[in-house]
Chains A and B, each alone.
Chain A
Amino acid sequence: MEFSGIFWGVIGWMIFWGVTGSIVSRRVYLHKDLDTSNTGLVGSMLGAATGPVGLAFLWMKTPEITTRMMLFPSLATVAVFMLTFSISDPGNLCVTNGSFVASQISNGLIIGIIYGFMALGLTLIFSILGVVSFAHGEFYMIGGMITYFFTTVWFPELGPIVGILAACISTFILGAVFERVFLTPMYTGKVDRPVEYGILITFGLAFTLQYFIQATVGANPVKAKRFFDFPKVRLPSAEDPWLIKTSRGNMELFDTISISNPRFTAAVMCILVFLALMYFLRRTWTGKALRAVSLDRDAAAIAGINPNKMNMLAFALGSMIAALAGAMLVQAFSWLPQVGAIPAMRSFVIVVLGGLGSIPGAFLGGVIVGLVEAAGTGCIPNAQKAASYIPAYGMIVLTLTLLLRPTGLLGRKYASGTHGKV
């Protein structure tokens, strides 16, 4: 009882001043004829963290809003929130047990990297085509399915790399064909509202793919074998391996943080592919062309880049990235035709949080969402409900982002020439 009393009291106070701050600050800045684009965020965060004191300062001085001014109040708000939590529930594991916190954080980080990687595909598609692909989760699912069939059912002797490659190639082709057949009318102005058309048509694709796989593969959960086993490592010594200790399927660091093998390989793979992708986008001609199209479609066309080709490449590549995430995770999770829905939603959250169209933003967003989910699951006192709300945590992040900073953390205002307007 006491917990709810103090906690909700403070939260109520924070919300009140946050809302007041966001509304009034905008008015104040507007009144003084200043830029109001980020007043909502600064006002609400300052209000939530410091109450009327900080707000009074803000309203009197009305300083120009810098990145630093957005960052510090936000961090302060998180700190106040955490402090309130620890005061009101001093017995909570998240407050008392350091190694518990450490392992939750490492869990959140690792899964966040994988989430972020998957979201990367979505953001790539968006930055070039201006389409939010609702079929992203289904490409993830198909990637896993193909890898499973290759590595476990059809050619178990070939090794995981072949399966992963097969998943990548087939989803790349599927993505390219779909883009050619169904998305081309968007560019020629044949469709009244291209953004909505994009949403609906990918939605239809998701629907079709999911049921197609269910009709052909069935609904029994499957899972690929572990791709690699950890070598046996005991450091610094075999007797007292406090630094690192591995078994076939698990790695333990500092005696506290345990990382399972499939997740570890998935995360490492995601980072490697991410680096390769960054190299591709920044160093190769095609990659530069892609980025050029995402910045200014018309100018790119004048410079001799065929934007239509780039559209196809981006959709195929983005879908392939989702499939790759699925291919890496099919050794960690049991796989079903319905498996894509939740990761797809999570990717939406990440992409909006990071800023639609921003590639580093997707990675940052992924890590943040991973951490928020870990915190929610780990810290909510009611054990029976904590994990029941997992799907909601991400959505709360999404809601807050859309309300406070719709462009996302690292988003550009206009992600894609014509149809990506916020």
Chain B
Amino acid sequence: MNKTHAPNIAGVVLIAFFMAFPFVYTADDYPYIMHILITGFFYAILTASWTMLAGYAGQFSFGHMGFMAVGAYTTALFSHYIYLTPEPTNFCTEFAFGDGYLIVLDPIGVTSSTLKQDCLRQAMEVWGDGVAVTPMPVWLGITLGTLMGGIFGFLIGTLVLPLRAAYLALFTLGFSEILRAAISAEIAVTRGQAGIELPALFQDGVTLFGKHFDKTDKLPPYFIMFFLLLFCLGLLGLLAKSKFGLFVRALREDQDAAAALGVNTTRYKVMVFVITSMIAAGAGATMAHYVGIISPNNLVILQMSLIVAMAVIGGVENIVAAAVGAILLEFLLEMLRNSFQIGPVEIDMTVWRLVFFGVLLMLTLRFSPKGLLVPTIDYFLRGHIGKETVAKRGQNKPDDEPGSEAVN
């Protein structure tokens, strides 16, 4: 068989592996491993979409966690403040809606006691048990979050049109920082650093194939996140292969030349921002519901640097490699939490693991700029290229050799 198929086969095997994993793995730490994998998928989605933005389109945005947070906070605020009731509360802001009333809660902020109550609780005390209050469906919140991500992506994409390289990085960093400061400061609404709580993905549990899963069970969120990842990878992959991908790459290589050749650079630049932000926001909203809480600490620059590092180490110009890299690295980072001893010296891995991570990031960038996974894949894809072609490709070090791409 042809070597060229190897990466595809590997992909299929990988998908099969992740599909089967929850059913074959039975150790005691099952929920924890599942949690890491779900988190890994989440980072994989963010990393893949960031790769589209940075690696393909050349827009090195540092605001990706910002878009993620836009999605998460939209659905958090939506599920936190809006309810449906059959009767008016007479305490809250409310609108007639179909047969019932749409209730908008008053923000009460972070209170130290559980006794302070919002208007709905006050109303419920008056009602007693007779009145059923319906929370908003989770899927609607996630959809709204995704749309809001798109809107923000459009705005930021439009604003950064004239900016390139360093300016773009700084501007998006600024966007993320303003968002973080605002969420931290507006405690009455967002609950600030305490984080805002969200209902679980399936608050009442879910029944699949005749088996009931509780809201804390990991299987349903696992597959939701996994399918979301597959969907995003599929979408990004299609886009990358289509005309869109071609134009977006042209944008990266030389914006002016692309414009001169008739590519509507404005449109594509904004579009790539909208698409990737929507993906980030959707992932953020889903993840927030899974974790059950979201706080502005997700917006600190360190979290963004994780995405960047994952993308770089996986391979910043290959969406799938970046995603797989993200899952592997998330796994590695979690596994490296435990301290260990070398002779008399105890190495406290909680801190040192991040040092190693940083060093790995730098070394990858310096010595294998296409990431650690992409060269492996390239090796198979280019296995059929004649030896003389490879030889012609420069007197680079063997490490760099598979990296010199034909696209240029």
A and B touch in the complex (CB under 8 A): yes
A173 within 8 A of B: no
Chain B binder among A54-62, A225-233, A280-288, A383-391 = A383-391
* Given A199-B60, A199-B166, A395-B178 contact (CB < 8 Å): yes
Across the interface, B355 reaches (CB within 8 A) one of A206, A211, A345, A395, namely A211
A399 within 8 A of B: yes
Chain B binder among A190-198, A292-300, A310-318 = A190-198
Whether A212 lies near B361 (C-beta < 8 A) is no
Whether A204 lies near B167 (C-beta < 8 A) is no
Whether B352 lies near A204 (C-beta < 8 A) is no
Chain B residues in 8 Å Cβ range of A399 = 159, 171, 174-175, 178
Whether B166 lies near A132 (C-beta < 8 A) is yes
B87 within 8 A of A: no
CA–CA, A13 and B221, complex, Å: 48
Q: Which residue of A lies closest to B306 (CB)?
A: A207
Whether A197 lies near B369 (C-beta < 8 A) is yes
Chain A binder among B70-78, B181-189, B199-207, B270-278 = B181-189
* Given A352-B170, A403-B159, A197-B181 contact (CB < 8 Å): no
A203 within 8 A of B: yes
Which residues of B142-183 have CB atoms within 8 Å of chain A's CB atoms? Answer: 159, 162-167, 169-171, 173-175, 177-178, 180-182
Across the interface, B181 reaches (CB within 8 A) one of A193, A212, A391, A398, namely A391
Contact with B along A343-366 (1 / 0, CB 8 A): 001001100100010000000000
B390 within 8 A of A: no
Give the interface SS of chain B, mostly helix, strand, loop or mixed.
helix
CA–CA, A197 and B166, complex, Å: 11
Across the interface, A392 reaches (CB within 8 A) one of B167, B178, B308, B408, namely B178
Chain B residues in 8 Å Cβ range of A402 = 159, 163, 167, 170-171
Contact with B along A255-282 (1 / 0, CB 8 A): 0000000000000000000000000000
Q: Which residue of A lies closest to B359 (CB)?
A: A208
Q: Which residue of B lies closest to A202 (CB)?
A: B362
Contact with A along B386-400 (1 / 0, CB 8 A): 000000000010001
Whether B178 lies near A208 (C-beta < 8 A) is no
Whether A200 lies near B181 (C-beta < 8 A) is no
B377 within 8 A of A: no
Q: Which residue of A lies closest to B59 (CB)?
A: A196
B351 within 8 A of A: yes
Q: Which residue of A lies closest to B353 (CB)?
A: A211
Contact with B along A158-198 (1 / 0, CB 8 A): 00000000000000000000000110010000111101110
Cβ distance A149 to chain B, nearest Cβ, rounded Å: 19
* Given A211-B358, A392-B178, A196-B171 contact (CB < 8 Å): no
Q: Which residue of A lies closest to B365 (CB)?
A: A201
* Given A212-B355, A392-B177, A402-B171, A421-B362 contact (CB < 8 Å): no
A406 within 8 A of B: yes
Whether A196 lies near B159 (C-beta < 8 A) is no
Whether B163 lies near A406 (C-beta < 8 A) is yes
* Given A196-B165, A211-B355, A215-B352, A204-B362 contact (CB < 8 Å): yes
CA–CA, A208 and B170, complex, Å: 20
CA–CA, A212 and B356, complex, Å: 9
CA–CA, A398 and B159, complex, Å: 13
Cβ distance B368 to chain A, nearest Cβ, rounded Å: 12
Whether B181 lies near A204 (C-beta < 8 A) is no
CA–CA, A419 and B171, complex, Å: 18
Across the interface, B174 reaches (CB within 8 A) one of A193, A197, A205, A395, namely A395
Which residues of B296-329 have CB atoms within 8 Å of chain A's CB atoms? Answer: 300-302, 305, 308-309, 312
Whether B358 lies near A208 (C-beta < 8 A) is yes
CA–CA, A197 and B403, complex, Å: 15
Whether A392 lies near B369 (C-beta < 8 A) is no
Give the interface SS of chain A, mostly helix, strand, loop or mixed.
helix
Q: Which residue of B lies closest to A40 (CB)?
A: B162
A96 within 8 A of B: no
A102 within 8 A of B: no
Whether B362 lies near A201 (C-beta < 8 A) is yes
Whether B164 lies near A388 (C-beta < 8 A) is no
Whether B184 lies near A197 (C-beta < 8 A) is no
CA–CA, A131 and B252, complex, Å: 18
CA–CA, A208 and B169, complex, Å: 20
CA–CA, A199 and B305, complex, Å: 11
CA–CA, A199 and B358, complex, Å: 14
* Given A205-B362, A214-B351, A341-B301, A200-B312 contact (CB < 8 Å): yes
Whether A389 lies near B358 (C-beta < 8 A) is no
Across the interface, B357 reaches (CB within 8 A) one of A207, A356, A388, A403, namely A207
CA–CA, A185 and B366, complex, Å: 8
CA–CA, A131 and B166, complex, Å: 8
Chain A residues in 8 Å Cβ range of B170 = 132, 348-349, 352, 398, 402
Chain A residues in 8 Å Cβ range of B54 = 196
Q: Which residue of A lies closest to B366 (CB)?
A: A182
Chain A residues in 8 Å Cβ range of B365 = 182, 197, 200-201, 204
Cβ distance A382 to chain B, nearest Cβ, rounded Å: 9
B96 within 8 A of A: no
CA–CA, A419 and B308, complex, Å: 22
Chain B residues in 8 Å Cβ range of A206 = 305
Contact with B along A303-342 (1 / 0, CB 8 A): 0000000000000000000000000000000000000010
Q: Which residue of A lies closest to B162 (CB)?
A: A406
Chain B residues in 8 Å Cβ range of A422 = 163-164, 167
Q: Which residue of B lies closest to A421 (CB)?
A: B164
Whether B174 lies near A211 (C-beta < 8 A) is no
Cβ distance B89 to chain A, nearest Cβ, rounded Å: 25
Which residues of A387-412 have CB atoms within 8 Å of chain B's CB atoms? Answer: 388-392, 395-396, 398-399, 402-403, 406
Chain A residues in 8 Å Cβ range of B402 = none
Which residues of B342-368 have CB atoms within 8 Å of chain A's CB atoms? Answer: 348, 351-352, 354-355, 357-359, 361-362, 365-366
Whether B165 lies near A204 (C-beta < 8 A) is no
Whether B167 lies near A352 (C-beta < 8 A) is yes
Chain B residues in 8 Å Cβ range of A391 = 177, 180-181
Whether B185 lies near A204 (C-beta < 8 A) is no
B58 within 8 A of A: yes
Cβ distance A129 to chain B, nearest Cβ, rounded Å: 11
* Given A204-B309, A211-B355, A406-B167 contact (CB < 8 Å): yes
- 5 nearest interchain CB pairs? A208-B358, A388-B185, A207-B358, A395-B174, A392-B181
14 CB < 8 A contacts A-B: A131-B166, A132-B170, A190-B396, A195-B166, A199-B166, A204-B309, A208-B359, A211-B351, A211-B354, A388-B185, A398-B174, A399-B174, A399-B178, A403-B159
Given pairs A211-B354, A399-B178, 9 additional interface contacts (CB within 8 A): A182-B365, A191-B369, A196-B58, A199-B169, A200-B312, A208-B359, A385-B185, A392-B181, A406-B162
Q: Interface of A with B (CB < 8 Å)? A: 126, 131-132, 181-182, 185, 190-193, 195-197, 199-201, 203-209, 211-212, 214-215, 341, 345, 348-349, 352, 356, 385, 388-392, 395-396, 398-399, 402-403, 406, 419, 421-422
Q: Interface of B with A (CB < 8 Å)? A: 54, 58, 60, 159, 162-167, 169-171, 173-175, 177-178, 180-182, 184-186, 252, 300-302, 305, 308-309, 312, 348, 351-352, 354-355, 357-359, 361-362, 365-366, 369, 396, 400, 408
